[in-house]
């Protein structure tokens, strides 16, 4: 596999931003290390578009908002919290990338795009909220909150959490702007946290969270990326993961991956959305490839060997 001179969308997992230290300094230091790997794709001559998650960050922000909530200082709604974390993570990552590019002798600008992702207000997800956000509450606290119209579900015996809809993305409002920047040799950071969920021509924000991998796949389609890379905590996708007969997948077709998916090999909320996003990209772009691998493997992609799990039509 040789990834050189191509338009590449890279979707960063949360582990590339937040490790054990949730402070601003801790996350900035994590992103400095992340940037060292991402810059290797630029060194290989690729046009780079970065997306990222924000699950831990938006959860922490919701806690802060709730703790300070008052009549004079009301908590911000979820769509605004997504926008706020897009800005903070984009700021940190943009600086880290700019500094690392300069160290590598590469003269490129980096820009973060506040990204609004359009969803269908009639998406079935709005009738079945499933994405947990915010703090754990007792049953009594949750019942009190539910009186105001929020939905709470018990989460694995650890308490009750607010759940919100997770609709599928249908368009990205800033896609043309992102493409224009890339065509002018600017490294772009966009679709942070799956993007700000909006509906209608007026781009009205809505209480929801869009899966980062699905939003990144939609972005890869719209900017006509040559390669879509989804980063996770392991080098490859496995079937029978953690068992004696586990098997590493290196090159796999959509048909094979669909079979493994139907057999229940991929956990919902973990590997499954990555698998579904990779399948979607390969189906929509039959002559291109999606790759699921770790951050540490990025530097090997300008070599001839297979890196990670490569998914093709």
pLDDT tens, residue by residue, 148-195: 677 888 876 778 888 889 999 999 999 999 999 999 999 999 999 999
Say if residue 91's pLDDT is above 80.
Answer: yes
Query: Band of the pLDDT at 202, cuts 50, 70, 90?
Result: very high
122 an active-site residue? no
Q: Which one, of 175, 181, 141, lies nearest residue 161 by Cα?
A: 141
Residue of 53, 131, 162, 179 marked active site: 131
15 an active-site residue? yes
pLDDT tens, residue by residue, 211-262: 999 999 999 999 999 999 999 989 999 999 888 899 999 999 999 999 999 9
E-assigned strand segments in 220-263: 227-232, 237-239, 247-249, 251-253
* Cα torsion through 11, 16, 22, 23, rounded to 10: -100
* Residue 8, H or E segment: strand 7-12
What confidence score (pLDDT) does residue 158 get? 76
The SS3 call for residue 111 is strand
Say if residue 2's pLDDT is above 90.
Answer: no
Q: Which one, of 3, 4, 9, 291, lies nearest residue 178 by Cα?
A: 9
Take residue 61 and report the two structure tokens written for it.
């922000």
Residue of 193, 194, 195, 212 marked active site: 212
103 an active-site residue? no
Mean pLDDT, residues 62-66 taken together: 82
Query: Is the whole-model pTM more than 0.75?
Result: yes
The SS3 call for residue 55 is helix
Residue of 6, 7, 15, 261 marked active site: 15
Instruction: Please state which of the ranges 94-103, 134-143, 291-300 shows the lowest mean pLDDT.
Output: 134-143
127 an active-site residue? no
Q: Contact, 178 vs 113, CB < 8 A?
A: yes
What confidence score (pLDDT) does residue 262 get? 95
What is the rounded average pLDDT for all residues in the chain?
Answer: 91
How many Å apart are CA 6 and CA 8, to the nearest integer?
6
pLDDT tens, residue by residue, 9-25: 999 986 678 767 889 99
212 an active-site residue? yes
What confidence score (pLDDT) does residue 134 get? 66
Task: State which of 78-82, 264-268, 300-304 shows the largest mean pLDDT.
Answer: 78-82
Q: What percent of the chain has pLDDT over 90?
A: 70
Query: Band of the pLDDT at 4, cuts 50, 70, 90?
Result: low
Say if residue 135's pLDDT is above 70.
Answer: no
Cα–Cα distances (Å) from 126 to 85, 122, 151, 172, 262, in that order, read 23, 7, 11, 19, 25
Q: Looking at residue 296, what DSSP letter applies?
A: G
Query: Band of the pLDDT at 146, cuts 50, 70, 90?
Result: confident
How many Å apart are CA 12 and CA 62, to the nearest integer?
22
Residue of 162, 218, 274, 288 marked active site: 274
pLDDT tens, residue by residue, 274-292: 999 999 999 999 999 999 9
């Amino acid at each position: 596999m040789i990834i050189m001179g191509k338009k590449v969308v890279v979707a960063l997992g949360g582990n590339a931003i937040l490790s054990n230290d949730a402070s601003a300094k801790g996350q900035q230091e994590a992103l400095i290390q992340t940037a060292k790997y991402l810059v290797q794709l630029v060194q290989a001559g690729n046009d780079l578009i970065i997306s990222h998650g924000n699950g831990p960050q938006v959860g922490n922000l919701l806690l802060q908002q709730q703790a300070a909530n008052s009549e004079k200082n009301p908590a911000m709604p979820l769509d605004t919290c997504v926008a706020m974390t897009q800005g903070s993570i984009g700021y940190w990552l943009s600086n880290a990338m700019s500094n690392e590019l300069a160290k590598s002798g590469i003269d490129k600008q980096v820009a973060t795009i506040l990204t609004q992702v359009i969803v269908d207000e009639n998406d079935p997800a709005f009738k079945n909220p499933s994405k947990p956000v915010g703090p754990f509450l007792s049953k009594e606290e949750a019942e009190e909150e539910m009186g105001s119209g929020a939905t709470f579900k018990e989460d694995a015996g650890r308490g009750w959490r607010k759940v919100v809809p997770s609709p599928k993305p249908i368009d990205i409002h800033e896609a043309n702007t992102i493409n224009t920047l890339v065509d002018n040799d600017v490294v772009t950071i966009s679709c942070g946290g799956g993007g700000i969920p909006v509906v209608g021509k007026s781009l009205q924000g809505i209480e929801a969270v869009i899966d980062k991998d699905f939003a990144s796949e939609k972005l890869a389609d719209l900017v006509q990326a040559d390669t879509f890379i989804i980063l996770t905590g392991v080098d490859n996708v496995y079937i029978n993961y953690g068992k004696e007969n586990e098997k590493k997948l290196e090159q796999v077709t959509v048909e094979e991956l669909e079979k493994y998916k139907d057999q229940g090999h991929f956990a919902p909320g973990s590997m499954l959305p990555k698998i579904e996003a990779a399948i979607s990209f390969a189906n929509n772009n039959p002559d291109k490839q999606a790759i699921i691998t770790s951050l540490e493997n990025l530097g090997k992609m300008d070599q001839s060997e297979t890196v990670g799990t490569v998914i093709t039509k």
